[in-house]
Chain A
Amino acid sequence: MSAQQRMGFFTDTSVCIGCKACEVACKEWNDVPEDGLEFTGQSYDNTGELGASTWRHVAFVEQGSADDMDFRWLMSSDVCKHCTSAACLEVCPTGALFRTEFGTVVVQPDVCNGCGYCVAACPFGVIDRREEDGRAWKCTLCYDRLKDGLEPACAKACPTDSIQFGELEDLRVRAQGRVEELQADGVAEARLYGDDPSDGVGGFGAFFLLLDDPEVYGLPPDPVSTTRDLPDLWKHTALAAGALVAGVAAALVGRSR
Chain B
Amino acid sequence: MTRPLSSAFTRALASDVPTRTLAEARARAATFQAQVSTGRRVFRASDDPTAFAGARRLDAAEGRLDSYGEAVGAARFWASRTADELDGMAELMATANDLGVQGGNDTLDATGRESVAARIDDLAEALIGRLNSKAEGEYLFGGHRTNQAPFDATGAPTTPSLAGDRRYRIGPDLDLAVNVDGDRVQTLSGGTSAVDALRALAAAVRTGGAAATAALAPIAEGRDHFLALGAEAGSRLNRLDDADAQLEASALDLSRRRSDFQDADYYEAATSLAQANLQLDATLQMLASDQQRTLLDYLR
Do A and B originate from a single complex?
Answer: no
Which of A's residues lie within 8 Å of B, judged by CB?
none
Give the A-binding residues of B (Cβ under 8 A).
none
